[in-house]
């Protein structure tokens, strides 16, 4: 039976689903006004004043039934533009943004006019994206234009992929943090050199940002009071007055109760998102941060468990109202308006004990209740410490088709933090971030995903000696005609040389990203809750966090390179069923006229079936790859790696020719770390055993694993227990992450034909969830073709 609070939640959910995705230019307008008003001031001060201008002037609203309030734009489900990052995107897409293939945003004629007259002229040549396009080295441009790498995304959108200091926010409040900055500022003398001057500028930027955030909360309090004066319904009038009381206190001050703690987090989340328009400002371990407020309110009798659940559900819906705007090309790599705001439950505490509490279950319940695509709800599961009842709750939610929670093997996550250089004394507190990355609340700085390397592209370049099959142009290094390779070792040497070049080119791009970010991407609002930034007087963007980690390079197409390498060893060198010349001619022809060779390639042993003839090369390839990545240093540490394709396996595959694996030209690469769709035929356990060969802990930005399971497998008590066993097997095999689509393929195909009947159909794309009907057809097709597991194996 439905709980009474669900009437409000259902009304809020229906309101959310009624909103068209639109583009808000007003945020960009107010940012521009702030910069214009401070010409000649340091960029940090200009950015802080710009955001204060936004907070003090942006349109605000309070919707019917809401208990928690705020928003990043003039309405729910509207995108915003940070003009200092990527103003030229709108100008380039002015006539296509409303109808583009991936993630269209409706832009009104009025807003087009405002943009072209008041925003665009100021930022031409100044925004980060324009600076990058002017500075981009030719080798990077050649590889990018050839489709072997994707490198532009972080120049379009700014810092995200972090877990703000929620404990600091809740303990001190924005006013308390502002007071610290004022005390630090008062102790400094600008006669003591440039380093001190930089600290003075930084502390001033904190103070300005804090004033703006507090002003925004007070504006919502004012609005709630005005609405209460006109409200006839006494119950709603009382709710509005409560909203005013709450926003008058937080986030300026430490929250006094559970309600205020949630509103404080929500307001700050919106403010830091507006500062950069980037994904993955993660909510972290909310069950740990908020449990003290929850338990106190229950003990005091001021709140019931159902009232707490209602507030959490309201919070979930408000997080869902955010939408990430990016250019059309970047959107193809992360389609579905995804924000990937992770909230995580479970895991262990500082003493290594079970950390599951009432709120751990309630976060899963909120995902069950709201059935929306955000927040990106996940669990840290410690097989040795967390109770079966917690795992069962997670499995029940997965079985419902919510696509969440994703499940992380806690020990693997901790090892990834250790490999990032975080001591065990803090690594226990790790948080999943974004899609599948690893993070640490209020202490760690990194771009976790600066761009993509195509592993299918690596093989393509080996087999065509560095030339693009699509254009015929030389886009990578020459590693020799494959027909001249005498041994399998010769082939592998060429593979490694191409990997070296791909990684070197990405590292080159990273140098420019770090330079531009340090100089043109200060984030004073975010820096407020990173305590070490306050201690050292340095912005998050400049390395003020306690731990700074080199940026992450994302790897796409694991199954494509593994199967290609395995097929060449098996078919060409071991069994000698075909010659390298025959294979090369078949690839040149995209297997047309060479159907017998295509069949041999497809029938050869495949990754995902626990077959050593395919899996033998996994460790060698991926340890070599991460060795090369870690050779490159940066101001923030050695570069790092992850395997999280988002939806990028689809567009990046459009530049990759036919492969020895049997994959046809221009088709999607394999998603995540799983098998190529349709080639894993031995069940779920065999698939997990294959992927356990990957060196998960060395890919410290995470390894993402999609599974699509036949709903019939999960029916009844036996099905639920079997799902729990699978999740435990994941941990036993030391696999970092799994996530699940549990849906009948016929429903997906009907949704393609009749999207109006399936507006709220959820699917797991990569490390995030999206509404199926809001994805491009090619990405929908990629999800449909994924292997549906019909036995546990």
Strands 149-150 and 452-454: antiparallel
Closest CA to 111 of 25, 43, 184: 25
d(CA 668, CA 661): 13
Residues 6+ apart with CB under 8 A from 227: 62, 240
d(CA 63, CA 16): 10
Answer yes or no: 329 catalytic: no
Are the beta carbons of 400 and 740 closer than 8 angstroms? no
Compute CA distances 719 → 183, 685, 716, 763, whole Å: 60, 15, 5, 21
Q: What is the DSSP string of 131-157?
A: HHHHH--HHHHHHHHTTSEE--HHHHS
Longest dimension (CA), the chain: 85
d(CA 83, CA 11): 35
Strands 552-556 and 149-150: unpaired
Helices within 124-257 (DSSP H only): 128-135, 138-145, 153-156, 166-186, 194-230, 234-249
d(CA 270, CA 265): 9
Answer yes or no: 437 catalytic: yes
d(CA 457, CA 652): 9
Residues 6+ apart with CB under 8 A from 756: none
d(CA 661, CA 38): 58
Name the token pair of 237: 């009038």
Taking residue 352's Cβ as centre, other Cβ atoms within 10 Å add up to 12
Token pair 């693009």: residue: 468
What count of Cα atoms within 13 Å lies in the side-chain half-sphere of residue 483?
8
Phi, psi of 668 (to 5 degrees): -60, 145
SS3 content of the chain, % helix, strand, coil (to 5): 55, 10, 35
Compute CA distances 192 → 80, 185, 201, 426, 537, whole Å: 40, 13, 14, 35, 14
Taking residue 250's Cβ as centre, other Cβ atoms within 10 Å add up to 29
Q: Which of 314, 435, 533, 601 is labelled catalytic?
A: 435
Closest CA to 59 of 25, 18, 17: 25
Residues comprising the chain, all counted: 793
Compute CA distances 188 → 175, 195, 386, whole Å: 20, 11, 49
Q: Where are the beta strands (DSSP E) in 304-448?
A: 342-346, 376-381, 406-409, 430-433, 437-440, 444-445
d(CA 197, CA 536): 13
Name the token pair of 549: 């980690």
Residues 6+ apart with CB under 8 A from 319: 266, 269, 283, 339, 341, 374, 375
Q: How does DSSP classify residue 664?
A: P
Are the beta carbons of 337 and 21 closer than 8 angstroms? yes
d(CA 435, CA 282): 10
Closest CA to 443 of 178, 164, 160: 164
Q: Which residues are catalytic?
A: 435, 437
């Amino acid at each position: 039976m439905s709980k009474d609070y669900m009437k409000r939640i259902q009304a809020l959910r229906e309101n959310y689903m009624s909103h068209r995705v639109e583009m808000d230019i007003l945020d960009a307008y107010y940012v521009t006004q702030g910069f214009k008003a401070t010409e000649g001031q340091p960029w940090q001060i200009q950015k802080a004043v710009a955001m204060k201008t936004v907070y003090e002037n942006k349109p605000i609203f309070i919707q019917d039934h809401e208990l928690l309030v705020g928003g990043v734009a003039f309405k729910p489900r509207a995108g915003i533009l940070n003009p200092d990052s990527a103003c030229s995107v709108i100008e380039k897409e002015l006539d296509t943004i409303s109808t583009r293939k991936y993630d269209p945003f409706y832009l009104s004629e009025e807003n087009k006019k405002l943009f072209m007259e008041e925003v665009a002229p100021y930022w031409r040549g100044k925004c980060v994206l324009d600076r990058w396009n002017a500075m981009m080295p030719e080798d990077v441009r050649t590889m990018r234009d050839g489709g072997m790498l994707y490198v532009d995304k972080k120049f379009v959108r700014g810092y995200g992929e972090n877990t703000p200091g929620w404990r600091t926010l809740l303990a001190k409040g924005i006013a308390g943090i502002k007071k610290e900055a004022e005390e630090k500022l008062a102790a400094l003398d600008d006669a003591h050199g440039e380093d001190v001057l930089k600290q003075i500028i930084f502390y001033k930027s904190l103070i300005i940002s804090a004033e703006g955030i507090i002003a925004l909360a007070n504006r919502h309090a004012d609005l709630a009071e005005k609405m209460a004066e006109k409200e006839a319904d006494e119950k709603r009038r009382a709710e509005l007055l409560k909203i005013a009381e709450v926003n008058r206190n937080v986030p300026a001050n430490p929250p006094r109760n559970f309600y205020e703690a949630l509103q404080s987090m929500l307001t700050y989340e919106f403010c830091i998102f507006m500062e950069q328009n980037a994904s993955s400002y993660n909510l972290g371990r909310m069950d740990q941060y908020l449990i003290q407020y929850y338990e106190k309110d229950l003990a005091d009798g001021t709140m019931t468990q159902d009232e707490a659940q209602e507030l959490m559900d309201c919070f979930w819906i408000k997080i869902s109202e955010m939408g990430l705007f990016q250019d059309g090309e970047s959107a193809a790599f992360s389609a579905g308006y995804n924000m990937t705001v992770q909230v995580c439950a479970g895991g262990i505490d500082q003493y290594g004990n079970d950390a599951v509490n009432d709120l751990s279950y309630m976060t899963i319940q909120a995902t069950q209740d709201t059935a929306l695509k955000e927040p990106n709800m996940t669990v840290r599961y410690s097989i040795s410490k967390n109770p079966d009842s917690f795992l069962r709750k997670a499995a029940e939610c997965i079985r419902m088709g919510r696509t969440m929670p994703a499940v992380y093997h806690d020990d693997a996550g901790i090892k990834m933090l250790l490999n990032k250089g975080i001591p065990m004394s803090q690594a226990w507190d790790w948080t999943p971030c974004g899609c599948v990355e690893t993070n640490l609340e209020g202490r760690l700085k990194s771009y976790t995903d600066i761009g993509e390397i195509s592993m299918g592209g690596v093989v393509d370049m080996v087999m065509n000696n560095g030339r693009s099959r699509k254009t015929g142009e030389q886009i990578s290094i020459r590693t020799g005609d494959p027909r001249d390779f005498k041994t399998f070792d010769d082939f592998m040497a060429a593979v490694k040389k191409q990997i070296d070049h791909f990684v070197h080119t990405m590292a080159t791009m990273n140098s420019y990203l770090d330079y531009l970010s340090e100089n043109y991407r200060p984030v004073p609002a975010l820096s407020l809750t990173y305590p070490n930034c306050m201690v050292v007087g340095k912005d998050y963007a400049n390395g003020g966090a306690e731990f700074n980690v080199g940026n992450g390079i994302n790897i796409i197409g694991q199954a494509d390179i593994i199967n290609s390498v395995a097929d060449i060893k098996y078919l060409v060198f071991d069994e000698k069923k075909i010659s390298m010349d025959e294979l090369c001619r078949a690839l040149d022809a995209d297997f047309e006229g060479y159907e017998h060779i295509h069949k041999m390639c497809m029938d050869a042993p495949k990754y995902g079936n626990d077959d050593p003839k395919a899996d033998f090369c996994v460790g060698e390839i991926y340890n070599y790859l991460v060795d090369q990545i870690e050779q490159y240093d940066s101001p923030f540490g050695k570069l790092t790696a992850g395997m999280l394709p988002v939806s990028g396996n689809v567009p990046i595959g459009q530049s990759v020719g036919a492969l020895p694996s049997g994959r046809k030209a221009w088709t999607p690469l394999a998603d995540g770390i799983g098998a190529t769709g349709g080639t894993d035929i031995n069940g779920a356990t065999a698939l997990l055993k294959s992927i356990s060969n990957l060196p998960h802990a060395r890919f410290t930005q995470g390894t993402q694993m999609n599974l699509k399971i036949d709903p019939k497998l999960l029916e009844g008590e036996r099905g639920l227990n079997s799902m729990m066993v699978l999740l435990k097997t994941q941990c036993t095999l030391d696999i970092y992450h799994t996530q699940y689509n549990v849906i009948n393929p016929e429903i997906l195909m009907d949704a393609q034909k009749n999207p109006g009947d399936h507006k709220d159909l959820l699917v797991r794309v990569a490390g995030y969830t999206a509404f199926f009907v809001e994805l491009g057809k090619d990405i929908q097709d990629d999800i449909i073709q994924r292997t549906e597991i019909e036995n546990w194996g």
